[in-house]
Amino acid sequence: MLKGKPVAFCSNNGEWSNSSPYCVKACTYPGAAIRGSMDSVKFYYSIGEEVNFKCSANLTMKGEPRIKCLNSGTWSSEIPVCLE
């Protein structure tokens, strides 16, 4: 994930308008639980951030209800499945 502004220009005083952007590890959108919901929908999630899943009424969750973005930029487990 890019941190900082992706565009900079040279100003009249010869200095850059922004400092240089840099890349940081992050997790991408994990996917949605079919017949369920998640509490945070974003393109990227910071290391350590967690996402919670819930199943629709009368369905049972198979898998972890909470996943965490790990230092490796991967999720702690697969998204859960909601079953009848």
Architecture of 26-84 per CATH? Ribbon (2.10)
**Do residues 3 and 23 touch, judged by C-beta distance below 8 A?**
yes
- DSSP letter string over 12-78? TTS-BSSPPPEE--EEEP--PPTTEEES---SEEETT-EEEEEEPTT-EEES-SEEEB-TTSSBSSP
* Nearest in space to 71 (alpha carbons), one of 21, 22, 40, 27: 27
Measured at the CA of 45, the angle between CA 41 and CA 36, to 5 degrees, comes to 35
Q: What is the pLDDT of residue 35?
A: 93
pLDDT tens digits, one per residue of 12-21: 998 888 888 8
Q: With bands split at pLDDT 50, 70 and 90, how would you rate the model's confidence at 78?
A: very high
